[in-house]
Amino acid sequence: MRILVVDDQKLNRDLLKIMLEQQHYDVVTACNGIEALEVLDSGPVDIVLLDVIMPEMDGYETAPKIKQRSKDVYLPIIFITSLDDKESFERCLALGGDDFIHKPFDKIILTAKIKAHSRTRKLSLEAQKQNRLLEYHNNQTEREHDIVEHIFNNALENQHDFPDNIDFHLSPASMFNGDVFLVAQSPIGSLYCMLGDFTGHGLAAAVGALPTSKVFYTMVNKGMAVSDIANEINTLLVKLLPGNMFCAATIIELSSSGKSVSAWLGGLPDAYVINQHGNVLKTLESQHMALGILETHEFERELIHFEVDSTMRVVLATDGIIETTNDKEEYFGEHRFIDLLAEKPSISCDDIIHHVTHFAQGEKQQDDLSIVLFNCLQIPQQKGEQESYSPLPFNMSLSLNSTQIKTTDPVLEIVDVLTRISGLRAHRSDIFLLLSEAYNNAVDHGLLGLDSDIKNQEDGFLEFYQQREAALNSLQGAMIIVDMRYCPTSLCLYFTICDSGNGHKSSASDGMSLSREHGRGISLLEEIAEHVTYNASGNQIEMCYKLT
Amino acid sequence: MSLSKALSSDGKILTIQIKGKFDFNLVQLFRQAYADIGNSTDKVEIDLRETDYMDSSALGMLLNMKKTLGSSVDSIRISNCQPQLKKILQISRFDKKFDID
């Protein structure tokens, strides 16, 4: 503790200095207010003993200036005075004085007063330190929240990409939302959405949304089934979340035609399918435990499937809506919710939230409120960009001997290599079909001489492939040559498949017949390819496939 | 290449999903997938979302299934086809015999 003694009389200064130094205080002195302020400016002081009447700058003038210099921390000013009129006491207090000590000095009183004020000073210093720390942490938290908010906004970005199909409203009970709503479209055009409610609310509940969204988007991009997505997110959450946290969720997929819906329902309140008047056509009850509880091997993947049309809507909500309470502590409840849906045609999420908020009558929102209205409309498929075609003229050729024909199934591997050529990947299914039909014809009929009529008999299909396997096992001295050429100028692929067999008749002339299980291959091939020609002996086929 | 099957929660819809390549290599597995179909199942869905390739042997297998199941199911739906596979099904007039979504 450092004490500043301000007095114009040397005797008083020395006396106080000695008395205080005996108590092990550090003492500095000044002769008037101006000097006192200089001392204060040059280093920290904890208590000021201030004489009232001094030349240059007296105590009355000095006290407010001292207080001004120490706004944040309590700096006690004890007036040294011989005055004892009430008026001057009041003046001292009004100008910032905290206490008085009378001349002549009483050692015991002085010590007691200094002790008391130094305690207060210490507390104030401590409080200031804690305030600074608190402020620092506040700023830190605010900055971190900003960053996290930014990440959340980016992670959950495409909720607004399908305004015709999806109307939704999310209102978190605190800054971060423990409810998560995700939307995405698969490459084949079906539209997926997931509404999830993590245990609790706020940041702790919201953190699970990030990894969940990542898995969701990745899997939708691959066009995976809803049951696979649910399973994958469950596996992730079981691993990540603490034991007392989980995520009640509904995941639905609307097929690209807009006609059918598959849904996985785990732990959210009932979802509804409603018609254009808002009447409930179907109630979708939760089927499973929430995500993040069951281990992968016990996870229940069962979905529900149902047909829909363009007038129907699926309504999803978290428990925040039905559990909203009013001032009479009544729940909003399922009945009010169902009635509300039918209150007017094509009700919007804003309408619903408006009603629920009105019902709550200013009661504080207890939980995150989320509602999704999913219109079962066919959705235009987002066109993937066609990769540019390679300008290089590629040639590829394979000669397969008996061993290779017996032990491999080369078509897919050839397709994989061929579709590395820029631009061909988009055609991989067609290329596979052409090669598969031509190659299998060469093997089945050219080399093995199998008769497709077997396929028409009861269980003939299986029989045919059993015969094929047996015949293939004893194959010797055979060969199949596959030639492929990519022409960048005509944008065509040319295939020649030649086998060492005795030639076989194509059954293409039979045309398309749904009643027979074979002969379809050649016709299909002729539809997909631009030209198909056979040589005279029937052991070679040439095909041209146009890429544009 | 793989095949998986799943029954809907109410047991009414059997979904058979084929990954990668749908061709004669699956002939046994595919047959087994619907061989033990229960009485309560009235719909079969062939989910081709993860099927990249199919050829005429797959078409044969589908027709075979249709013949085997006959009237024991109400419908067989082929769903989530990629555009090129949808074209193959259309060229083969499968839309006449199957419900193609």
pLDDT tens for residues B57-80?
999 899 989 988 888 899 999 999
A464: closest CA among A478, A435, A443? A443
Query: What mean pLDDT is predicted for residues A246-272?
Result: 94
- The DSSP call for residue A289 is P
Residue A325 has pLDDT above 60, yes or no: yes
B82: closest CA among B95, B100, B61? B100
Reduced to 3 states (helix: H, G, I; strand: E, B; else coil), residue A340 is helix
Rounded to whole angstroms, the Cα distance separating A88 from A51 reads: 13
Reduced to 3 states (helix: H, G, I; strand: E, B; else coil), residue B51 is strand
Q: What is the pLDDT of residue A227?
A: 94
Q: Scanning every residue of chain B, which has its alpha carbon at the shortest distance from the alpha carbon of A258?
A: B101
CB contact (8 A) between residue A512 and residue B47: no
Q: Percentage of residues in chain A with pLDDT exceeding 70?
A: 96
Residue A513 has pLDDT above 50, yes or no: no
Lowest mean pLDDT among A154-163, A297-306, B17-26, B78-87: A154-163
Q: What is the pLDDT of residue A436?
A: 94
Q: What is the pLDDT of residue A509?
A: 42
Chain A residues touching B2 at Cβ < 8 A: none
CB contact (8 A) between residue A304 and residue B9: yes
Query: What mean pLDDT is predicted for residues A306-315?
Result: 93
Strands A247-254 and A191-198, bridge-based pairing = antiparallel
Query: What mean pLDDT is predicted for residues B22-40?
Result: 90
Q: What is the pLDDT of residue A506?
A: 54
Lowest mean pLDDT among A155-169, A182-196, A279-293, B40-54: A155-169
A366: closest CA among A402, A393, A332? A332
CB contact (8 A) between residue A187 and residue B82: yes
CA distances from A392 to A241, A358, A418, A489, A490 (A): 52, 68, 13, 9, 12
Tell me which residue in A225, A429, A514 faces B96 most closely, judged by beta carbons.
Answer: A514
CA A279 from centroid of its chain's CA atoms? 33
Lowest mean pLDDT among A40-54, A253-267, A516-530, B39-53: A516-530
Provide the pLDDT confidence category of residue A515 given band limits of 50, 70 and 90.
Answer: very low
**Tokens standing for residue A189:** 């055009």
Rounded to whole angstroms, the Cα distance separating A113 from A105 reads: 12
Helices (H), A241-322: 319-322
CATH code for the domain in which residue B76 is found: 3.30.750.24
Q: How many CA atoms lie within 13 A of B88 on its CB side?
A: 32
Chain B residues touching A517 at Cβ < 8 A: 60, 63-64
Q: Percentage of residues in chain A with pLDDT exceeding 90?
A: 55
> Residue A244, Cβ neighbours under 10 Å: how many?
7
Tell me which residue in A255, A259, A462 faces B27 most closely, judged by beta carbons.
Answer: A462
Q: Is the peptide bond before A391 cis (omega within 30 degrees of 0)?
A: no
Q: Amino acid letter at B42?
A: D
Q: What is the pLDDT of residue A510?
A: 44
Q: What is the pLDDT of residue A81?
A: 84
Query: What mean pLDDT is predicted for residues A360-371?
Result: 83
Q: Which residues of B touch A (CB under 8 A)?
A: 6-10, 13, 15, 17, 21, 23-25, 27-28, 31, 45, 47, 49-50, 52-57, 59-61, 63-64, 77, 79-85, 88, 91-93, 96-97, 101
Chain B residues touching A428 at Cβ < 8 A: 52-53, 84
Q: What is the pLDDT of residue B1?
A: 67
Question: Which residue range(s) make up the domain with B65?
Answer: 2-100
ipTM of the complex: 0.93
Residue B81 has pLDDT above 60, yes or no: yes
Residue A304 has pLDDT above 90, yes or no: yes
A493: closest CA among A413, A418, A385, A384? A418
pTM: 0.75
Residue B9 has pLDDT above 90, yes or no: no
| Min distance B63 CA to chain A CA atoms (Å) | 7
Q: What is the pLDDT of residue A423?
A: 92
Residue appearing with tokens 């953190």 = A207
Tell me which residue in B13, B47, B56 faces A437 most closely, judged by beta carbons.
Answer: B56
**Tokens standing for residue A71:** 């706004």
Residue A96, classified by CB atoms within 10 Å of its CB into exposed (0-12), middle (13-18) or buried (19+), is buried
Size of chain A in residues: 548
Rounded to whole angstroms, the Cα distance separating A185 from A183 reads: 7
With a CB cutoff of 8 Å and minimum separation 6, the contacts of A299 are A230, A231, A234, A235
With a CB cutoff of 8 Å and minimum separation 6, the contacts of A490 are none
Q: Count of domains in chain B?
A: 1
